[in-house]
């Protein structure tokens, strides 16, 4: 066997592999012996069929399989052993001549490969890139504090109804029919009625009052809501348009929890904050930390736009890439690839630059980095449900479950690596820090 690289130009090359039959014949013989041991052929006991018969039946297919395997292993081992940074996948060369693989050889196979171009650029403090800090407003803090207070809230029975109260009572259809609809202990939230006129009928109502209203109008004919209220199948409930009486038996009002030490301990752990002022400061800090990934992501978007310009003169093997893309995805067309190629090249430049930064600066991702990323994401997910003080063991458990899924583990590794590249760039270039509101931050994407 002989493997060699032939340079065509700076970004195109060929790998030529010469195989002798002896390079794969032993593997062929071993596979055929295995087939013989397992073969169930009429007239012969298991494992006793003549090898000549086994060869007649299987040798051609086995030879083709073993030749392809030897060829593939040789190709990719050469690429790996020689640290070739290739784009796409090797392709059988269009200059490859047909060969009689039934002969004794030697056989020559030629593969086209695309080489990643050499990148020449510098990063320094002359490169100014904006970094947007999203301002945490008092309104954001108020909203989060209110959400936490709601967690410690409770329902209290009251005598008079106000909007957002829930009411329970007996619902009776106004009808002379014997099968008039009756629902005991029906539960309603009039503040969610679609019809303002029906909603107004309950304002100021008291326990014991009997209200006449129309459920169909109140719910704008929504069959799911009517079915739930009347405890009927949807197909029946949607046709119920009668007025009903509702005798109020109970009114419940949600009362938010007190902003006291008990709540502070519940959210952040015992003794972590000891006053409302400290609690609000901690809430503000948490909100700010949740904005950091958004700011970092935007920084990388702007870094790409700025830094990729340094590679404007880099040449790529576009002809090879077009050919490879057509083969790799049969849904693509030559016209579509031509149209998309400029954008793809820009994305490829940024991808290669990040890889180059990682290599030149010896940036590495350890298992601990991936686990930390998984825990950060898990913590953010818990925070969405108002759980700020999640025990470390629970974070470890949930993060561990994420890492058991191969696709999620790969995504987490990519995110962890991207985070490290962002941290490196923030130290290598000049950051132009800008304070923006969430509205201003979101408009940055509208401009693109």
Q: What percentage of the chain reaches a pLDDT higher than 90?
A: 66
> How many Å apart are CA 439 and CA 47, to the nearest integer?
76
Task: Identify the CA nearest to 299 among candidates 434, 124, 130, 126.
Answer: 130
Strand partners, 186: 169
> How many Å apart are CA 181 and CA 227, to the nearest integer?
12
Residue 24, number of CB atoms within 10 A of its CB: 22
pLDDT at position 384 over 80: no
| Domain 154-255: assigned CATH number | 3.10.50
Among the listed ranges 26-30, 146-150, 429-433, which one has the minimum average pLDDT value?
146-150
Residue 276, Cα to own-chain centre: how many angstroms?
37
Among the listed ranges 120-129, 148-157, 371-380, which one has the minimum average pLDDT value?
148-157
> How many Å apart are CA 240 and CA 234, to the nearest integer?
10
Residues of the chain with CATH 3.10.50: 154-255
Q: Give yes or no for a contact between 264 and 274, defined as CB atoms under 8 angstroms apart.
A: yes
pLDDT tens-digit series, residues 228-279: 999 999 999 999 999 999 999 999 998 877 888 988 888 888 899 999 999 9
Q: Give yes or no for a contact between 336 and 325, defined as CB atoms under 8 angstroms apart.
A: no
> How many Å apart are CA 136 and CA 436, to the nearest integer?
9
Identify the pLDDT of residue 63: 85
Pairing state of beta strands 244-255 and 166-173? antiparallel
Query: What is the helix, strand, coil percentage profile of the chain, to 5?
Result: 50, 20, 30
pLDDT tens-digit series, residues 328-358: 888 889 999 999 999 999 999 999 999 999 9
Q: What is the mean pLDDT of residues 210-235?
A: 94
Residues of the chain with CATH 3.30.70.1050: 2-115
> How many Å apart are CA 91 and CA 111, to the nearest integer?
5
Identify the pLDDT of residue 339: 94
- 103 vs 324, more confident: 324
Task: Identify the CA nearest to 248 among candidates 156, 155, 160.
Answer: 160
pLDDT at position 122 over 80: yes
Tell me the average pLDDT of the chain.
Answer: 90
Q: What percentage of the chain reaches a pLDDT higher than 70?
A: 98
pLDDT band at 447 (very low <50, low <70, confident <90, very high): low
pTM of the shown model: 0.69
Identify the pLDDT of residue 40: 81
Q: Which fold has domain 2-115?
A: Alpha-Beta Plaits (3.30.70)
Tell me the backbone φ, ψ of residue 241, rounded to 5 degrees: -120, 10
pLDDT at position 383 over 80: no
Tell me how many helices (H) and strands (E) the chain has. Answer: 15, 11
Q: What is the mean pLDDT of residues 379-397?
A: 77
pLDDT tens-digit series, residues 84-113: 999 999 999 988 877 777 767 788 999 999
pLDDT band at 118 (very low <50, low <70, confident <90, very high): very high
- Could you write out the DSSP letters of every residue in 21-34? THHHHHHHHHHHHH
pLDDT tens-digit series, residues 5-41: 999 999 999 999 998 888 888 898 898 988 888 888 8
pLDDT tens-digit series, residues 290-308: 899 899 999 999 999 999 9
Identify the pLDDT of residue 233: 94
């Amino acid at each position: 066997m002989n493997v060699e690289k032939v340079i065509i130009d700076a970004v195109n090359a060929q790998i030529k592999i010469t195989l002798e039959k002896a390079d794969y014949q032993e593997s062929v013989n071993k596979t055929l012996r295995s087939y013989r041991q397992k073969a169930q052929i009429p007239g012969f006991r298991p494992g006793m069929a003549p090898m000549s018969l086994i060869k007649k039946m299987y040798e051609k297919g086995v030879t083709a399989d073993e030749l392809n395997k030897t060829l593939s292993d040789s190709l990719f081992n050469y690429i790996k052993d020689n640290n070739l940074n290739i784009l796409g996948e090797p392709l059988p060369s269009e200059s490859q001549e047909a060969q009689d693989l039934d002969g004794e050889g030697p056989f020559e196979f030629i593969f086209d490969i695309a080489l990643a171009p050499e990148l020449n650029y510098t990063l320094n403090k002359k490169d100014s890139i904006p970094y947007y800090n999203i301002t945490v407003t008092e309104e954001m803090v108020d909203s989060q504090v209110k959400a936490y207070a709601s967690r410690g809230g409770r329902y209290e029975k009251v005598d008079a109804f106000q909007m957002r109260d829930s009411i329970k009572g007996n619902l009776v259809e106004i009808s002379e029919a014997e099968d008039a609809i009756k629902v005991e202990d029906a539960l309603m939230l009039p503040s969610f009625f679609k019809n303002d006129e029906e909603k107004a009928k309950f304002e100021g109502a008291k326990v014991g009052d009997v209200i006449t209203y129309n459920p169909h109008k109140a719910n704008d004919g929504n069959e799911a809501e009517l079915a739930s209220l009347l405890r009927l199948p949807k197909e029946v409930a949607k046709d119920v348009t009668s007025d009903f009486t509702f005798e109020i038996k109970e009114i419940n009002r949600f009362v938010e929890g007190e902003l006291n030490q008990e709540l502070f301990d519940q959210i952040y752990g015992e003794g972590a904050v000891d006053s409302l002022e400290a609690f609000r400061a901690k809430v503000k800090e948490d909100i700010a930390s949740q904005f950091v990934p958004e700011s970092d992501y935007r920084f990388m978007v702007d870094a790409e736009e700025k830094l990729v310009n340094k590679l404007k003169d880099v040449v790529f093997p576009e002809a090879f890439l077009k050919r490879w893309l057509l083969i790799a995805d049969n849904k693509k067309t030559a016209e579509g690839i031509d149209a998309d190629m400029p954008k793809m090249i820009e994305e490829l430049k940024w991808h290669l630059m990040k890889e180059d930064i990682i290599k030149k600066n010896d940036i590495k991702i350890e298992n601990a980095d991936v686990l930390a990323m998984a825990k950060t994401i898990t913590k953010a997910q818990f925070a969405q449900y108002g759980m700020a003080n999640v025990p470390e063991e629970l974070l470890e458990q949930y993060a561990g479950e994420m890492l058991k899924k191969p696709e999620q583990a790969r995504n987490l590794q990519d995110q962890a690596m991207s985070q490290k590249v962002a941290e490196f760039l923030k130290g290598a270039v000049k950051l132009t820090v800008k304070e923006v509101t969430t509205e201003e931050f979101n408009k940055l994407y509208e401009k693109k």
